[in-house]
Amino acid sequence: MLRNDTLRNIPLTPELHDYLLTQGRMSPDPLLVELEERTRAAIPDQAHMVVAPEEAALLTFLVRLLDARTIVEVGTFTGSSSLCLARGLPPGGSLITCDVSAEWTALAEEFWDRAGVADRIELRLGPASDTLRALPAEPHLDLAFIDADKPGYIDYWEQLVPRIRPGGLILVDNTLFSGQVVDPFPGEKPAAVHAFNEHARKDERVELVILAVADGLTLARRLPTEESTLR
């Protein structure tokens, strides 16, 4: 493997992280800050699942860049990522978000309403696999975001890839899992993420990159049939 050790990622100190957010126009607005604070107060043990500010900004940016109009999210939690995805939608755009917790998503619904995006978001409670299987089978989605239970990643991927239009994106969160994906004896969750990463890497239906954003973010573009056959 070719590598250049002089070009590896620089350490992201708190000062540099603040600079990155400010100069990249990625500092969270007061509503997102309040949502994170409310999440930490209500669910302190799970509050780490709120998307990082730079990732939140990237989600909105990618929706706008792609001119996405139809989005599916797997894993709602308290709604920060869905809020950011919905903010990028044009008039008439829609987001289906899947979760199993009525308690956590009640907070999400409050903040969607306050952000003025509630009319663009449809929450479907229940196992995400069932929700995804109930979607039309043909390619019709512009973008999907997977950020739920790690052992379910491969199943969600297999449900979503055929439903993404050619040129559409699948985003998958936590694909570096705090660096534990390279541990020789990983726990259940990092092992599941490692297995997913291998599965996605071998999938000839997409081209993909993994970015060292937050906890690792995979971006996969669904290839048109003619491109897929040339790989």
pLDDT in tens, 146-191: 999 999 999 999 999 999 999 999 999 999 999 999 998 889 999 9
Note the pLDDT of residue 177.
93
Q: Where are the domains of the chain?
A: 13-230
Find tokens 């997977």 and name the residue.
Answer: 146
Which residues of the chain are modeled with pLDDT < 70?
1-8, 226-231
CATH dotted code for 13-230? 3.40.50.150
pLDDT in tens, 59-77: 999 999 999 999 999 999 9
Report helix, strand or coil for 83. helix
pTM over 0.85: yes
Say what angle helices 30-42 and 80-87 make with each other, to 10 degrees.
160
Q: Beta-carbon neighbour count of residue 109 at 10 Å?
A: 17
Note the pLDDT of residue 9.
74
Note the pLDDT of residue 76.
96
